Structure 1
């Protein structure tokens, strides 16, 4: 067996990855394992990874985005091996992602990249901050200045530029915030460090995961939230709701912010 998924599964569970994320890694790594066995490979190697990349592109005819998502998953696994094996160097096995032609659309994080960042982030508090932005759409300035008394039952109350808005929050995220920041006073900030520190730590996770640093900036997680919101809440009024959540005074700002997703927005607006 080339890939020991059981140990990696335990690692993903410790990182609190979702069951669907773990299942996705299992499927992707299982596909690589079967290719390796079928082609006579008995251990991981750069040659194996390069040939599997060519197989995905030339034989399986996967889309470039699908190939890149799988390469990101492999990179996360290699990072795990480097952490647990003194004789393993992840960079010796990583292949480059496929270059995608620039379409002048805004780049944004996709689910596989978000999952990889959660796995590769070495700082728990930074990981919590990334989750907070990715699942509420907060600006980083709003997130790092958040105090305990702004956390309501399943909601967050934000005041920015003299305007107050209330944002819904998943139950699991409220629970995680309460556990992580237990002991903080009502007027104490939840997050301890500066924006610069968190940005640097996000970049570190991006480098480890092999993800473009343009996507790993705080607004990349805000984009991730916006796209996820539209996918789950499409239909008439979705853009107006998103505008209120993001705190935009003009809906045109929301449309510009989501420029990368124009075709999807058109579908959502027409849905009945």
Structure 2
């Protein structure tokens, strides 16, 4: 029996009929009342199979529960406002249905329309997971008492994205072009990315206090954890010299300069991999040169090793065991 005293009274929280039974939550004035409530619910379920004093149907719309989710949970997430806007657009596109009555077919139809309009499956999957988190979060809080209506919907299958990386000659050409660009400091930002695997925004946001003892520390990262990466002495000297000129923010926004310059070099990149090609280039050369995949995971800040494993095929000895241990090399029976 799960009965706890709270500032509002005695809270009952249990599942009738075992771990897989329906969950019941109620706040009572006294502990005795809470105990009677739980016993009554369990007895009535045994006798009739019907719940005790069922709540009236929840007629709140999807946009209304999204607002409640944002108030309790969403506003505390990174990039909270962009996420809120995306979920609100999903609700609007589906006609803002009653949240408890949303059918998987409604979301499936919306998803099909998005794909037909040219939206990438990864974007649609992101919207799907955002919506799932709204229902699951509110259910955990007790704000809704029905199951997630999309729990049986599966995400779309996504093709592995092409990850282009620069050759050494392309790196040299690009850095030379950046050095001669209208924002020469763009070259130094690119060097940081190529030397540490940092995202462009992480490198661009460096301050003097984060460049110490031949190391750089990236904060406010996508994964929410700081990363400290060693760098060579030449790059360290360049960054410290820049820090003397601009101790608080080493760089202005150089992204546009980078995009224009890389276009001028004639380097062709897959869609969406403009500045990110530098991160891919670091990771790819790290593995090609014999780097350890687990070390790369820590350097890149990947929480899931599967993200890092995308580079594993570049290892010099990748899949060589297929030659060493195939059945023609065995004398077994």
TM-score, normalised on structure 1?
A: 0.52
Task: Pick 1 or 2: higher relative contact order, CA cutoff 8 A, min separation 6.
Answer: 1
Report the CA distance between 1:158 and its aligned residue: 2.1
CA deviation map 1:134-164 (0-9, x unaligned): 1111111211221110111111122334422
Using a 3 Å threshold, how does the CA distance of structure 1 residues 269 and 192 change in structure 2: closer, same or farther?
farther
Q: Runs of 4 or more off by more than 4 Å in structure 1?
A: 268-271
Is residue 284 of structure 2 the alignment partner of residue 227 of structure 1? Answer: yes
Q: Does 1:206 align with 2:262?
A: yes
Matched, 1:114 2:171: yes
Contact 1:134–1:221 (Cα < 8 Å) also in 2: yes
Within the alignment, does 1:145 sit opposite 2:205 as a pair? yes
- In structure 1, the gaps of 5 or more residues are 1-102
Q: Report 1:35-74 matches (<5 A).
A: none
2:238 maps to 1:176? yes
Q: In the alignment, which residue of structure 1 is the partner of 2:215?
A: 155
Unmatched runs of 5 consecutive residues or more in structure 2? 1-159, 322-333
Instruction: Choose 1 or 2 for highest CA Rg.
Output: 2
Whether contact under 8 Å (2:186, 2:257) holds in the other structure is: yes
Closer/same/farther in 2, CA of residues 210 and 268 from structure 1, 3 Å limit = same
Q: What SS does the corresponding residue of 1:190 show, helix, strand or coil? A: coil
TM-superposed deviation, 1:127: 0.7
Match of 1:245 in 2: 299
The structure richer in helix per residue is 1
Inter-partner Cα distance in structure 2 for 1:166 and 1:200: 27
Superposed CA deviations along residues 8-31 of structure 1, whole A, max 9, x for unmatched, are xxxxxxxxxxxxxxxxxxxxxxxx
